Copies of this chain bind each other. A is one copy, B any other.
């Protein structure tokens, strides 16, 4: 088997382990999944804490449908609201509520801790973490950097 295929399969495998760790911590302490957290985090990074659902989908690597489904429970528990656009009645923004923002900052602490635990120890000098981030960015689908 080539290095390329081997690497791709390792990446897939590493992801499931990673997701499990984040899910365990986040759901234990805050009752949300990693997917929920990343969604809230993106909203938190957006100006005004709000985004069109289509853009959120693009940023998260989901379909529009996936965003609708992921947002629903967060709206139910009051972390996110739906806001209409004055110019275009088709678009429904997703916006962090004040509660959502408050809860997000606490989730972020947990997520940082979890990430730190994962990348801790002699196996993970800072340069390797940055190096990994760099390599992953080259793969990153459409990534964070826009289309």
Contacts and interface: CB of A to CB of B under 8 A. Distances in A.
Contacts of A4: 112, 115-116, 118-119, 129
A132 B135 CA distance: 7
How many copies of this chain does the complex contain?
2
A5 B136 CA distance: 13
A14 B118 contact: no
B13 A116 contact: no
Which of A5, A19, A112, A142 neighbours the largest number of chain B CB atoms within 10 Å of its CB? A5
A65 B45 CA distance: 38
What class of interface size applies to chain A in its complex with B? 35 or more
A8 interface: yes
Contact of A12 (B19, B114, B126, B132): B19
Interface of A: 1-20, 22, 34, 38, 41, 60-61, 108, 111-112, 114-116, 118-119, 123-124, 126, 128-133, 135-144
Q: Which 5 pairs across A and B sit closest by C-beta, in order of nearness?
A: A17-B141, A4-B115, A5-B115, A15-B15, A7-B133
